[in-house]
Amino acid sequence: MSARPNILWYCTDQQRFDTIAALGNQYINTPNLDGFVTGAAAFTHAYCQSPICTPSRASFLTGMYPSAVGVNGNGFQSFPRHYQDRLISKVLQGAGYDCGLIGKLHLASAFLRREERVHDGYDYFQYSHDHKGGNERGNEYVEWIKAQGIDHDSVLQPRGIASTADYRNSHLHVGFGGFSEPTPEKDNVPPHLHQTHWCAEKAIEFIQRNREPGKPWFLSVNPFDPHPPFDAPYEFYRRYDPDSLPGAHFEESDLEHQRRLEADGIDFQNRARHPDEFQHKHIQASYYAMIEFLDQEFGRLLDYLDASGQRENTIIIFMSDHGEMLGDHGLVLKGCRFYEGLARVPLMIAWPDRIQPQVSDALIELVDIVPTLYELLGMDVPPFVQGRSAASLLRAGASDAPHREFVRTEHYAATNLADETHATMYRDRRWKLVVYHQKNLCELYDLENDPWEHRDLSGDPDYAGVKWDLLRKSYDATVYARPAQTDRYGPF
C-alpha cells in the first residue's frame, strides 16, 4: 500500500444539495450515498463559485475564484495556459501521482467537439462530455458503445442544439434541456449503455492499472447526469410516482418577481412559467431517478475499493459543480440566479481514520477543496490559492470558530446570452444578498425565516440597515477575491 493516499474525486453535474436521503430528502432513494455519509464529513451548506459549469470547474480545480483564474463562463476556446500549472491534477502529477480523468472535463468549450486540452496532468484520459449526439471526434464513450457492435445513433438521442439560438431556448429541446419520459417500449439510454455506467467501468479499469510500487493515483470521475435533459432510464424512472413527489418550491408571487428580473434583461436559460406548465413533478421524478442511478454506480466504485483493499488509503470526494432550479420560482436549468437550489451543492469527503465523520452545517465553498487536499497531503498551499483549507475541521469536527463567516458566488457574463449579466451573491449564516451590477437592482433574503427565498426584502425600509451592511461586506469580499500578488522583492 502506498504511504500517500489515493484520491477519488467524483463530481456529478448540476446536482442540487437537497438530493440525498440521509441528509433529509425522504422522497429519493440513495442507499450508497447514505452509507457513504455515515463515514464522511458531509457539508450541508457548500456553495459553488459560479452557477455555470466551466467557471465552477476552473475554480474548484485551482482553488481560485472564476474571475481570478479568468474563466468566467462557458464557451472558452481553451483554459488559460499560463495557469495550467495551477490545476490540482497537474500539481499532483508533478508530485508523483498517476492521474486520470473520465467523463467531462469542461475547462473549455465542448460545443460539438472534443474540447481543447492544456497540459492538465491526466495520463489516463477517457473523454465524454455527455450521452447525447453523434460521433464527435475523441468521444471514448461513443467508441465504447460501437466496440460492443451497437450503432450509437440507435442509442443516443440527438443533441437537439446546433446554434446559440437553440441554446437560448434549450428548455424547449427534448434532447438538451427538456423532459423525455421513458416507457418499457421506448427507453432513453438504457443503464448498461449509459454514460454514467461507462464512467464507473472506466474508473475501475483505471484503478486496476499496473503501477510501480508505492505510486498513488488521483482519479477525477465526471458523469454528465443529472444535468438536463431530464431523461432517466426507464428502469430507474419507474421507481418514482410523480404524483407522490412534492414538486417545485413555488409561490404565485414568484412569477411577478421573475418578470421584474426578466424586464431588466437578467440572463437565464428560460423565462419563468408556472411549474404546472412544464410537468414539474415528472421532471423531479426523472431528476431523482438519474441521481439514484448515479448512486448505484458510485456504490460500485466504493465496493471495488473495498474489495481491492484500497478504501482505507483513499480520500474520496463526492460533490457537484452547481445545482439545478428544477421548477423552483418557475425556472428550470440555470443562469444568473443564486437561489439555494442552484448555488448550493452536495459535498462529502471521506478518508477512514483520518477524517472525522460528521454532518456539518459550516459554510464552505468549493474553492476550499484544493487547499484542503494540499494540507491533507502535507503539501504547502501555494500563494495563488484563494480558498481556505478545511483540513482542521475535517480532522476534529465542529469548533467554536466558524470555517467561514460568509460564502460568495459570481456570474460574470457566464452564459452566452444577450445581457452578459454581471452579478454577485454574498451569503452569511442568515442573510443572502444578490447584486445585479449596473442594474440598480438587488435581492435580499432572510434565510432563517424564508429558506426558499420567496420574499425579496431589498425594497423594504425595515431592512434598509441590513441591506446596506451586506452591500458593504459584499463589496469588500469582491475586492479581495483577486489573484494573489506577485512576490515582493524590495523594501519599497
- What is the set of domains in the chain, with CATH numbers? 6-397 (3.40.720.10)
The whole-number pLDDT of residue 168 equals: 64
- Look at residues 321, 346, 348, 325 and name the one whose alpha carbon lies nearest to residue 336: 325
Q: Record the cell numbers describing residue 338, joined without a space.
A: 443564486
Which distant-in-sequence residues (6+ apart) come within 8 Å of 240 by Cβ? 27, 285, 286, 288, 289
Q: Which three cell numbers stand for residue 440?
A: 440598480
CA nearest to 345, candidates 14, 35, 4: 14
Query: What pLDDT does residue 2 have?
Result: 53
For residues 255 and 330, the answer to whether their CB atoms sit within 8 Å is yes
Residues 322/48, Cβ–Cβ less than 8 Å:
yes
Q: Which amino acid is at 162?
A: A
pLDDT digits (tens, 9 = 90+) for 251-282: 999 999 999 999 999 999 999 999 999 999 99
Q: DSSP 3-state assignment of 41?
A: strand
Give me the pLDDT at residue 482, please. 87
Q: Which residues pair with 442 in a beta bridge?
A: 435
Residue 329 has which C-alpha cell?
A: 420560482
pLDDT of residue 1: 42
Angstrom distance (rounded) from CA 415 to CA 418: 9
**pLDDT for the residue 111:** 80
Distance from the first to the final alpha carbon of the chain: 51
User: Phi/psi at 186 (nearest 5 deg)?
Assistant: -135, 90
- Global pTM reads 0.96
pLDDT at 90: 98
- Structural contact between residues 365 and 387, judged by C-beta atoms closer than 8 angstroms: yes
3-state secondary structure of 162: coil
* Distance of alpha carbon 327 from alpha carbon 341, whole angstroms: 10
What is the predicted pLDDT for the residue at 167? 64
Looking at residue 279, the DSSP 8-state letter turns out to be T
What φ, ψ does residue 29 adopt, rounded to 5°? -110, 110
C-beta of residue 155 within 8 angstroms of C-beta of residue 131: no
- Residue 403 confidence (pLDDT): 95
Neighbours of 308 (CB within 10 A): 12
Rg (CA), the chain: 22
Q: What is the pLDDT of residue 269?
A: 92
Residues 423, 435: Cα–Cα separation, whole Å: 5
Q: Which residues 6+ apart lie within 8 Å of 114 measured at CB?
A: 127, 129, 136, 137, 138, 139
What DSSP string describes 315-373? EEEEEES----TTGGG--S-BS---HHHHEEEEEEE-TTTS--EEE---EEGGGHHHHH
In this prediction, the residues of the chain whose per-residue pLDDT falls under 50 are 1
Grid coordinates given for 153? 445513433
Say if residues 445 and 460 touch (Cβ distance below 8 Å). no
Asked if omega into 229 is within 30° of 0 (cis), the reply is yes
Tell me the CA distances in angstroms from 237 to 32, 175, 181, 354, one per residue in order. Answer: 18, 17, 8, 38
Task: Give the integer Cα–Cα distance in Å for 395 and 361.
Answer: 16
Residue 240: the pLDDT is: 98
